[in-house]
């Protein structure tokens, strides 16, 4: 269900980008006008990955320095939800090409909580709270990041180098998604 929504939103963003694209024509020579490329770059998109399943992405770049922020969350019930935020600062290589490679540093926080029926049954059997009635994962980290992007489709890998807070932490963080640049 979530993957289907991600595919639909990515397709709509992709189609909107082509619909809004504009090629200005010089009336004197009937040739496309050449404009100077701005040093500023903006991007918006959506991604799926780990530890946060779905995130909305936004970024702003000046020349080859790029700042990105991502966030997402979903609630299914009192003890069943996840939330996560990440941000990063990167140096972008091959900015002029449709393919880019970014190297940088990032930081993020994620928390997930899910009900555990076995723990609930144990508490009911003992008529007291012996254990938490849910499982949870929580991380707060600084990580080294590598991001590759071609025509808006990107993959992002991050290796945490320091954890400030950890409980059942992942060793590799990843995302795959689509961003529209303007």
Residues in the chain, total: 182
Question: Who contacts 125 (Cβ-Cβ below 8 Å, separation ≥6)?
Answer: none
Peptide bond into 132 cis (omega under 30): no
- 46: three-class secondary structure by DSSP: strand
| CA distances in angstroms from 172 to 27, 33, 41, 92, 166, listed in the order given | 53, 46, 28, 21, 14
Is 2.40.160 the CATH classification of the domain at 37-181?
yes
The proportion of the chain whose per-residue pLDDT surpasses 70, expressed as a percent, equals: 81
Tens digit of each residue's pLDDT (9 = 90 or more) over 68-101: 999 999 888 877 888 999 999 999 998 888 899 9
Tens digit of each residue's pLDDT (9 = 90 or more) over 22-67: 555 455 555 555 567 788 999 999 999 988 889 999 999 998 999 9
pLDDT of residue 117: 79
Name the pTM for this structure.
0.70
Tens digit of each residue's pLDDT (9 = 90 or more) over 129-138: 777 777 788 8
Q: How far apart are the first and last CA of the chain?
A: 29
Retrieve residue 80's tokens. Answer: 């069943």
């Amino acid at each position: 269900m979530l993957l289907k929504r991600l595919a639909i939103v990515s397709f709509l963003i992709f189609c909107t980008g082509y619909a809004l694209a504009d090629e200005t024509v010089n009336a004197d020579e009937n040739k496309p006008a050449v404009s100077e490329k701005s040093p500023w770059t903006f991007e918006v998109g959506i991604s799926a990955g780990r530890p946060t399943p779905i995130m909305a992405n936004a970024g702003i770049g000046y020349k080859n320095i790029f700042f990105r922020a991502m966030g997402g969350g979903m609630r299914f019930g009192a003890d069943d939800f996840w939330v996560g935020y990440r941000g990063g600062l990167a140096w972008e290589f091959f900015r002029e090409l449709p393919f880019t490679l970014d190297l940088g540093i990032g930081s993020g926080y994620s928390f997930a909580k899910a009900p555990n029926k076995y723990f609930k049954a144990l508490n009911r059997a003992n008529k007291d709270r012996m254990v938490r009635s849910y499982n949870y994962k929580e991380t707060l980290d600084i990580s080294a990041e590598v991001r590759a992007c071609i025509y808006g489709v990107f993959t992002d890998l991050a290796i945490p180098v320091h954890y400030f807070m950890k409980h059942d932490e992942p060793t590799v963080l990843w995302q795959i998604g689509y961003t529209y640049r303007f």
